[in-house]
Structure 1
Amino acid sequence: MIKKYLIERRSWIFLVIFLQLLTVFIAMLDTQIELKPILYITFLSFIIFLIFLIIRYNTETKFYKSLEERENNLDLTSVASPARPLEHIIDQSIRDQTRLLKKEASLHLFNLEQEKDELLSWIHEVKTPLTAMQLMIDRIEDETLKSQLKVEWLRVHYLLDHQLHQKRLLFIENDLYIEKVEIKPIIFQEIKTLQSWCMQKGIGFDIELKATEVYSDAKWLAFIIRQLLTNAVKYSHESDIMMGSRIKEEHCVLVIQDFGRGIDAKDLPRIFDKGFTSTTNHYDNAATGMGLYLVQKIARPLMVHIDVQSKPEEGTTFTLTFPKSNNFSNIRGM
């Protein structure tokens, strides 16, 4: 701040130095003026000017220091009160802009909440006829047609599920309830939901769960497993999907491995990016690029680490490492 202050006041400093040198120069040229008293007066005035500069530095930079040190938010309580007219102009301008931004932010938040509520309401309304369709499909005797309709019903169901969790994700911190969760019933429930699609594609499951308890939120964890299993089924053909869990260094580790088309090495760093689909299969119009993005966003507050290994045409392995119970000491709902 000292350097900035000296740069800001450099014109005044140069003016004072110039006037002092000019006085000495005139005294040197004019023989009727004694040089020693002039030098003495010049020296004293320069010392007084330095003391004045130091005192004014603390006074004039207090307001600007508070602006420089405050956090980048809309809270102006840490800003010092302006002491000079120009500072009042700056302070008033900042406060007017802050009020405007707060007003716009509140309006956007209100619109976002309204849009979210409308969409959630629409999703719940659509679920009613969707449930009725499921009951109607179950009464169809033609097994081939029944299987095809179930797969299409499942796709619509997952699209709605995506939208529902995407909107809830903004407020996930308020929705978390961390407890000891059994992963086996969650896994088997998701496999049961995918049963018709798996039968159509000739896909089976090989499951070996050596560890069955994790600390997590059952609802959000179910979505993560659902999305990973959906991807595994979607990109596999007539093969088994391997699922296993174990304890590693006091952490529960869940592995989901498929033997489908895999992911190209150059795409691996980007698979969790919002909207990213694929560079090698860019023609796949069915992909939205939102599934794994949502998985990663949900995994962070759950403190689940996700590792991915994949080779094209050999398959993909997702490894989920769950936290220990004491990691949730501050937010666990137990």
Structure 2
Amino acid sequence: MVRKFLIERISWILLFLFLQLLVLSISFVDTTIPLESMFYIVFLSLLIFVVFLTVRYSKETKFYRSLEERSNDLDLKSLAIPDSPFEHIVEQSMITQTEKLKQQATYNRLMLEQEKDDMLAWIHEVKTPLTTMHLMLERMNDEELKALMTYEWLRIYLLLDQQLHQRRIPFIENDLYVDEVDLEDILFQEIKTLQSWCIHKGIGFDIDLTVATVMSDAKWVAFILRQLLTNAVKYSDASDIYIRSEKQDEQVILVIEDSGRGIDAKDLPRIFDKGFTSTTAHHDNAATGMGLYLTKNVAQALLIHIEVQSQLGKGTTFTLAFPKRNDFVNLSVTLGQENL
């Protein structure tokens, strides 16, 4: 800050030094003016000027130091009180701009809320004809056509469900209800939804749940399992998907293992990135790159740790480590404070 202050005042400092040199030059040329006396006056002037600069530095940089040290937010309370007309101009300009930004942020937030509500309403409206369509498919006699139509229906249903939860994730803390969750019920419900697709591809499930209950939110756990099971079925041929659970150090571990096409080692660090599909199957137009990204976000909100192991051509294993009960007590307290 000292360097900046001196640079800002460099023209005044140079002017002062020039005037002192001018006085000494005149004294040197004009013999009637005592040179020693002029040196003494210049010395005192320099001394007073240094003291003056020191005082002004402390006074003039206080406001700008507070500007430099303030947080990058819209709160101006940390600013020092302006001490000059120019500082008042800066402060007034910042206040005006801050108010405009706050108004714009409020407007954007309202528009985002409106867009989210409209999208949710539209998704719920579309689900009604989808349900009717599913009932109609169940009555079809042509099994081959029924299987194809059911697969396309399931794709639409899963994409709508993904959009629905994507709109809810930013406000997930308002939608959590932590309770005992029966993993077996959720898994069988999700497998039932994928049943026609699994039959069409010749995929079965081998389930061994040593521990069947966890502390979590049933709706969001169902969403996580839906995404993982959908991926496992989508990228597997005729084979079994293995699902097992166990307890390790008071944590419930759920493992979902398939024998599908697997993930390339160079893609593994990026599979949870938004919009990332694959580098080995980049032509796959059916992939949106959103499923695992949303899964990771939901898992973080539920304090679920996800690990993935995969080998290209040999399948993929997802491991979900659910939090301990005490971890969820801390989460509940945190959410309660945020809501206040």
Could you say whether these structures have the same fold, taking a TM-score greater than 0.5 normalized by the shorter chain as the test?
Answer: yes
User: Offset at 1:313?
Assistant: 1.0
Q: Any idea what SS the aligned residue of 1:332 has?
A: helix
- Tell me the alpha carbon deviations over residues 275-315 of structure 1, each in whole angstroms, 9 at most, x when there is no partner: 11112211111111111111112122222222122111111
Percent identity over paired residues: 61
Change (3 A) 1:52 1:221: same
Q: C-alpha separation between the residues in 1 aligned to 2:76 and 2:136?
A: 60
Paired residues for 1:228-267 under 5 Å: 228-267=228-267
In the superposition, the TM-score normalised over structure 1's length comes to 0.92
Structure 1 window deviating more from structure 2 (41-50 vs 218-227): it is 41-50
The residue that corresponds to 1:132 in the other structure is 132
Q: Which amino acid is the alignment partner of residue 65 of structure 1? A: R
Structure 1 window deviating more from structure 2 (125-134 vs 95-104): it is 95-104
Structure 1 window deviating more from structure 2 (234-243 vs 320-329): it is 320-329
Q: Any idea what SS the aligned residue of 1:89 has?
A: helix
Change (3 A) 1:41 1:213: farther
The residue that corresponds to 1:279 in the other structure is 279
Structure 1 window deviating more from structure 2 (309-318 vs 106-115): it is 106-115
Q: Which amino acid is the alignment partner of residue 281 of structure 1? A: A
Paired residues for 1:90-239 under 5 Å: 90-239=90-239
Q: Any idea what SS the aligned residue of 2:301 has?
A: coil
Q: Which amino acid is the alignment partner of residue 256 of structure 1? A: I
Query: How many aligned residue pairs are there?
Result: 334
Q: C-alpha separation between the residues in 2 aligned to 1:245 and 1:212?
A: 7
Whether contact under 8 Å (1:265, 1:311) holds in the other structure is yes
Structure 1 unaligned blocks of 5 or more: none
The residue that corresponds to 1:63 in the other structure is 63
The residue that corresponds to 2:318 in the other structure is 318
Whether contact under 8 Å (1:272, 1:296) holds in the other structure is yes
Change (3 A) 1:19 1:259: same
User: Offset at 1:28?
Assistant: 4.1
Q: Any idea what SS the aligned residue of 1:6 has?
A: helix
Change (3 A) 1:34 1:300: same
Change (3 A) 1:332 1:180: farther
User: Offset at 1:85?
Assistant: 2.0
Paired residues for 1:6-85 under 5 Å: 6-85=6-85
Change (3 A) 1:324 1:2: farther
Q: C-alpha separation between the residues in 2 aligned to 1:329 and 1:16?
A: 68
- Tell me the alpha carbon deviations over residues 109-147 of structure 1, each in whole angstroms, 9 at most, x when there is no partner: 222111111111111111112222222223334444433
Q: Any idea what SS the aligned residue of 1:242 has?
A: strand
- Tell me the alpha carbon deviations over residues 28-52 of structure 1, each in whole angstroms, 9 at most, x when there is no partner: 4444333333333222222222222
Q: Which amino acid is the alignment partner of residue 126 of structure 1? A: V
Q: C-alpha separation between the residues in 2 aligned to 1:218 and 1:25?
A: 89
Q: C-alpha separation between the residues in 2 aligned to 1:58 and 1:39?
A: 29
Structure 1 window deviating more from structure 2 (105-114 vs 37-46): it is 37-46
The residue that corresponds to 2:329 in the other structure is 329
Q: C-alpha separation between the residues in 2 aligned to 1:179 and 1:279?
A: 40
Q: Which amino acid is the alignment partner of residue 116 of structure 1? A: K
Whether contact under 8 Å (1:271, 1:293) holds in the other structure is yes
- Tell me the alpha carbon deviations over residues 127-176 of structure 1, each in whole angstroms, 9 at most, x when there is no partner: 11222222222333444443333322222211110110111112112222
Structure 1 window deviating more from structure 2 (127-136 vs 226-235): it is 127-136
Q: Which amino acid is the alignment partner of residue 79 of structure 2? A: V
User: Offset at 1:218?
Assistant: 1.6
Q: C-alpha separation between the residues in 2 aligned to 1:196 and 1:58?
A: 77
Q: C-alpha separation between the residues in 2 aligned to 1:19 and 1:278?
A: 72
Q: Any idea what SS the aligned residue of 1:76 has?
A: coil
Q: Which amino acid is the alignment partner of residue 273 of structure 2? A: D
Q: Which amino acid is the alignment partner of residue 191 of structure 2? A: I
The residue that corresponds to 2:270 in the other structure is 270
Q: Any idea what SS the aligned residue of 1:229 has?
A: helix
Structure 1 window deviating more from structure 2 (94-103 vs 304-313): it is 94-103
- Tell me the alpha carbon deviations over residues 186-235 of structure 1, each in whole angstroms, 9 at most, x when there is no partner: 12211121111111111111122223333322211111110000000000
Q: C-alpha separation between the residues in 2 aligned to 1:303 and 1:205?
A: 27
Q: Which amino acid is the alignment partner of residue 242 of structure 1? A: Y
- Tell me the alpha carbon deviations over residues 30-87 of structure 1, each in whole angstroms, 9 at most, x when there is no partner: 4433333333322222222222212211221122112111111222222233222222
